Amino acid sequence: MSVRFYMDTVRAGGDLNRESFLHEIEGFRKYLKVLNRADKTVQWYIHDALLFLRHVENHYDLKGLSGIGKHELRDFLAMELSRGISRKSLMRRVSGIKMFFRYLIEEGLVQDTSILTVDTPKADKRLPKTLSQNQIKSLLRGIEGERPIDKRNLAILSFLYGTGARVSELVALNIEDVDFNTGLVRLRGKGGKDRIVPAGMFVIERLKHWLESRHDMGEAVFTSMNGRRISDRHIRNILRAALQRAAVQLPLSPHGMRHSFATHMLENGADIRTVQELLGHMSLSTTQVYTHVATDKLVRSYQKFHPHA
């Protein structure tokens, strides 16, 4: 892919005038290729570097790259924000431009490293999608049945909601990880970090019903009907079908069951650090997003039911 191809992707009008800028962009492209960056990443990084350089040409009387610093970058970011660019795109802009100047510094083409100290904008926090407690009841009630596949699907969704497990943790679950007497379950979390969580007897009973109904007794708790360990995609399809059957008009991923678990725990008075431990979050700040969801629902309930609200 040529530099001209990347230049054609830049929506702002006009071409770069400085041949030196074009030369360094070509060098940057080769640099990214040596780093084995994906083609799409290379394309966007060069796109963002070109946008920034065009801004510099149009707004500053600089003799070369060596005159560009953090003030020019901050001015460019402010202009982009005024155009209504998303925070996600702005974050990528900063990453691409910083990478470009990292290349220039390593090549000895510029000495000013101030651009590398510009803070990357934080992404907008999106509140997780969750089901209400009544929707969870309808969801689980709608897939009850006596067939082995019904018992398995009910056990899967009950497990996700009853433990707050990640889908990957459910997929990796083995029979030896479940203590059927105490209701405790060992989950294999991110980075190989295991944790022990309570599943609740309503989950344990549904696990028993499923395991008793299947023919194959391999080590995996959750399998397809032919005995193979179940996949992430299979679980997604099970949830989608269950949502349709329960007439729940909300596009929800299996991770949404984990979100619902955390939100409902907080709504019913659980301590946030307890929820942090159950979810296996390293940082409390990761768990705190659920307090926004719970608080938002409390405010709506207050406004709806308080006579003076």
Pair 42, 26: CB distance under 8 Å: no
The answer to whether 23 is a known catalytic residue is no
**Catalytic pick among 18, 195, 281, 297:** 281
The answer to whether 290 is a known catalytic residue is yes
Q: 173-182: string of b/e by CB count within 10 Å (b at 16+)?
A: beeebbeeee
**Catalytic pick among 188, 258, 259, 264:** 258
Quick one: which H or E segment has residue 187?
A: strand 184-188
**Catalytic pick among 18, 129, 229, 255:** 255
**Catalytic pick among 23, 190, 193, 228:** 190
**Catalytic pick among 29, 55, 152, 166:** 166
The answer to whether 258 is a known catalytic residue is yes
CA distances from 110 to 48, 73, 103, 174 (A): 19, 15, 9, 56
Residue with tokens 């989608």: 240
Distance CA 173, CA 171 (A): 6
The answer to whether 70 is a known catalytic residue is no
Helices then strands, counting H and E runs in the chain, come out as 14, 3
Distance CA 194, CA 210 (A): 24
Instruction: Report the catalytic residues.
Output: 166, 190, 255, 258, 281, 290
